Amino acid sequence: MSGHSNFPEWVYIGVVVALLCWVGAEAWNVERIVEHIPEDAELIKVTGQQWFWTFEHEDGTKRIGELRVEAGKAYRFEITSKDVIHSFNIHDYVVLLDAVPGRVNTVWFAPMEAGEHDIQCREYCGLIHYNMRGKLIVEEAA
């Protein structure tokens, strides 16, 4: 269209593209920081199955439905499933990752204070899904 300026449209497009780039970069950066596992993180193997969680520590200790950790230490969870897809969630620590049969997914966290927190399956996995819970017990550092 003659005599019509496209300048405002280009400003609009520029602002939108710049904002999208900023949003993407911020999210990517936080994801990179959060997924960066500390070298001294202790391994805990987490196995989900209908309808309970099993936790296996590096020293071979196994517990069902109860996870005991120490405050001030980092822990790396290797999460898998024996039957259907589950999702391992410690709501209070914003830990959430799917447990998929035949696949090991990794997430880490470092509890700072002693306390008790809920663990819950967050992927509908059958009749007793609602009760596929566990307890995270964070103890004072020894």
Summarize as ranges the residues that interact with other proteins (CB under 8 A).
Answer: 19, 22-23, 26-28, 30, 32-40, 74, 92-95, 109-110, 112
Q: Which is nearer to other proteins, 63 or 76 (CB)?
A: 76
Cis peptide bond prior to 108, omega within 30° of 0: no
User: Which is nearer to other proteins, 73 or 129 (by Cβ)?
Assistant: 73
Residue 32 vs 59, nearer CB to other proteins = 32
Closest contact distance (angstroms) between CB of 137 and other proteins is 18
Instruction: State the minimum distance, in angstroms, from the CB of residue 4 to other proteins.
Output: 11
CA distances from 64 to 22, 46, 95, 135 (A): 43, 10, 19, 10
Report in angstroms how near the CB of residue 48 gets to other proteins at its nearest.
21
Give whichever of 23 and 128 is closer to other proteins, judged by the CB atom.
23
Give the shortest CB-107-to-other proteins separation in angstroms.
Answer: 9
Q: How far apart are CA 56 and CA 44, in angstroms?
A: 6
Retrieve residue 42's tokens: 């202790």
Residue 135: its H or E element: strand 133-139
Please name which of 61, 57, 70 lies closest in space to residue 112, comparing C-alpha atoms: 70
